[in-house]
Structure 1
Amino acid sequence: MTPNQRKQHTDAMIIAASAPRKNWLGKHRPINSVQSAWVKSLLAVWGECYGGRTTEEAMMDGCGFWSCLRSEEWSDAEACRITETIKDLRKIGYTGENLLKMAHAILWPQKSLADAIAGQIRQDDTDFVEKSILAALRNDDPVYVVGVDFYARRKNVSDIGRYLQKVAPWLTRKQAEDRVRWCISHFNCAVFLSMRKNIYQVNGK
């Protein structure tokens, strides 16, 4: 991190530490278990591949996974299919870019070269999750900062909680970790709603 990024990170953590309750961190619309599993699995892959870039650093996705995801008709059944595919691939050792490529081949098998070319013309094949995150949250929002630490920097709840205690030593370990969980929950919900909105827009709904 640059000094400015480090200061922004610390300032956001101080705000998170100051939260007296979950809804103080922003509006929270609960999502169901299927939706939660879907967004968590996609965020985990995002964190492995692309996490934490700025808008200017967002790059093209070579395997086409995110553009196919954008063109999906949203339903809990489709969410389960995607989640289970990612889970099964993880069990046999796939991660990151390799996981995306294999999931793409399983979920959306290529029918023909003509179909592939038409798909590329129809879809802007950019990093769908990254853009959904940046559309949902400012990069100085404590919810964003904690979410990026958790998914992209691969820090666990206790690691982030210990950092919160450093900037806010009056918090107990449980209080610090509770605030981390609140932020992650808000992050998941905000990103889910942003991604679903994006999918609906692509499909003209």
Structure 2
Amino acid sequence: MRRIDAIYHLPSITDESHLRRTWKYTKKTITKKQRAWVHYMLAVWGRVNRGDDSPAGAVNVIGRLMIRSQWSQDKSDQICRVVTTLHDEEGLRGEELYRRARDLVIPQSSISNIIALAKESDDAAFVERVLCKTINRDSPVRDVAIKQYCERKCPQDIARLINYHTGLDVQAARRRVVWCSNILDAEMFYALKREMENEFSQMAA
């Protein structure tokens, strides 16, 4: 029998707190910048897992560099600024864009530089590993992540799917998708940050 997508169980969820309790996600708070950082990370994961072999854009390169740099607001802003400049003003794309940006934002003498030599597929595998450890595979939160980043569906598209299969009003469905996204972002921010700190500390030992 075909597995029913987890998002189709969302109509039974009454609010975000109910969703957290059901799947045992504690309430976590992150800033707008931290949320953007997670989105860049997940964009790398989604691109590789959907089999996209088109030249990597600025968003993907930003994500790859953020995966390979310890979190800080200043570093995040620097990566965005450098990649956007190289992409928009110098017209760099793909691996050339990644290498040039990497050379500018990650000092060659740092531990980060060693990790930054990883392939894009390695970066995606890193995010996948953290996602699997953090988000229950049967959770609608994971289902939303897959649909949003791997299948490239926007929240409204996912809401329409829920509406089509369950009859739940589209706006009510969209609210539930947003709840899932909020939980995904917060859970993945802290999990990725913790995993990256572990990697850096092991390499420094």
**Would the aligned equivalents of 1:157 and 1:177 in 2 still touch at CA under 8 Å?**
yes
Q: Distance in 1 between matches of 2:148 and 2:92?
A: 20
> Are residues 1:148 and 2:146 paired?
yes
How far did 1:154 drift? 0.2
Q: Distance in 2 between matches of 1:143 and 1:154?
A: 15
Over 3 Å counting, the alpha-carbon distance change for 1:80 and 1:21 in structure 2 is same
Write the mapping of 1:1-205 to structure 2, written as runs, cut at 5 A: 4=2, 7-8=3-4, 10=5, 12-26=6-20, 27-50=26-49, 69-70=67-68, 72-88=69-85, 91=88, 100-101=98-99, 103-108=101-106, 110=108, 119=114, 127-169=125-167, 171-204=168-201
**Would the aligned equivalents of 1:67 and 1:128 in 2 still touch at CA under 8 Å?**
no
How far did 1:18 drift? 1.8
Root-mean-square deviation (CA, aligned residues, Å) is 3.6
**Would the aligned equivalents of 1:143 and 1:183 in 2 still touch at CA under 8 Å?**
yes
Paired residue type of 1:14: Y
Over 3 Å counting, the alpha-carbon distance change for 1:203 and 1:109 in structure 2 is closer
> What stretches of structure 1 of length at least 5 have no aligned partner?
53-62
Ranked by relative contact order (alpha carbons within 8 Å, sequence separation 6 or more), the top structure is 1
- SS of 1:192's partner is helix
- SS of 2:201's partner is coil
> What stretches of structure 2 of length at least 5 have no aligned partner?
21-25, 52-60
Over 3 Å counting, the alpha-carbon distance change for 1:149 and 1:97 in structure 2 is farther
Identity of aligned residues (%): 26
Paired residue type of 2:128: E
Q: Distance in 2 between matches of 1:32 and 1:153?
A: 26
How far did 1:167 drift? 2.8
Paired residue type of 1:75: S
Match of residue 58 from structure 2: none
Match of residue 57 from structure 1: none
Q: Distance in 2 between matches of 1:94 and 1:45?
A: 18
How far did 1:87 drift? 4.9
Q: Distance in 2 between matches of 1:94 and 1:174?
A: 40
**Would the aligned equivalents of 1:41 and 1:86 in 2 still touch at CA under 8 Å?**
no
How far did 1:73 drift? 3.2
Q: Distance in 2 between matches of 1:190 and 1:140?
A: 16
How far did 1:49 drift? 2.3
Q: Distance in 2 between matches of 1:100 and 1:132?
A: 23
Deviations 1:19-56 (A, max 9, x none): 1001222223120111111111222232122359xxxx
Question: TM-score, normalization: structure 1?
Answer: 0.70
Question: TM-score, normalization: structure 2?
Answer: 0.70
Q: Distance in 1 between matches of 2:141 and 2:93?
A: 25
Aligned residues: 181
Over 3 Å counting, the alpha-carbon distance change for 1:73 and 1:41 in structure 2 is closer
How far did 1:128 drift? 2.1
